Amino acid sequence: MKLGIVGSGKVGSALGAWAAKAGYQVAFTSRNESHARDAAQHAGHSAKALPLRELIDESRLILLTLPYAEVKKALGPMREHLGRKTLVDVTNPVTPDYKSLALGHTTSGAEEIARLFLDANIVKAFNAVFAEVYVSQNPKIGGQTISIFFAGDDVEAKERVGELIERMGFDPVDAGPLQNARYLEPLSLLNIHLGRVLGFGTHIGLALLRDGRP
């Protein structure tokens, strides 16, 4: 499957490299073309750098790994080309000091993105794990598999995202409709506070323990 990464920073580069290793045809784009080229070279496995329009046209899954505040500016001009694409929202609408969310409770960043791109299928995922875990390409800590929670309204889109999560070795947990991104985005703040304030470090993750799967 063809997968596009919008944003070639630490998170985007790491997720793209891991997806390429897992067998996806990966393309990167960035407002800085050299960052996309560097990410593609690092990923290997025939990954490439493309302009945004070409990446959208070619990709079936598109991961948004740029800052939340830049999504509208970056993708707004491409709205008519997004069609029924699956956009995986990896962003979090955090404040500059990383201590709170810029919005929440009655909406979420993912829901606001869905309102911007009404014809696309938005799935929230990969937002509550540090980039360092993705860089390591190790989905386990202490022998326990990290859970990746994902939420969305389109069944097929969620299946594609769940498959990506599983092929990377994580434990995919369907967290329900996109509205439940209101619960998943605060998890990123908990993760940040545990890792960077309370001293647990960045190689941490959450795991849902359960008897069987729903």
Q: What are 134-192's pLDDT values in tens digits?
A: 999 999 999 999 999 999 999 999 999 999 999 999 999 999 999 999 999 999 999 99
End-to-end CA, the chain: 26
Residues sharing a CB contact under 8 Å with residue 83, sequence separation 6 or more, in sequence order: 119, 120
In a domain, 205, yes or no: no
Distance CA 55, CA 33 (A): 13
Q: For residue 35, is it within any domain?
A: yes
Residue 35 to residues 25, 51, 85, Cα–Cα distance (Å): 18, 12, 24
Q: pTM score, two decimals?
A: 0.96
In the chain, pLDDT over 90 holds for what percent of residues? Answer: 95
* Alpha-carbon Rg for the chain in angstroms: 16
Beta-strand pair 171-174/147-152: parallel
With contact defined as beta carbons under 8 Å apart, do 127 and 92 qualify? Answer: yes
**Is the residue at 211 inside a domain?**
no
Domain that holds residue 41: 2-197
Indicate which CATH number applies to the domain containing 123: 3.40.50.720
Evaluate if residue 213 carries a pLDDT over 70.
Answer: no
Domain count, the chain: 1
- Whole-number mean pLDDT of the chain? 96
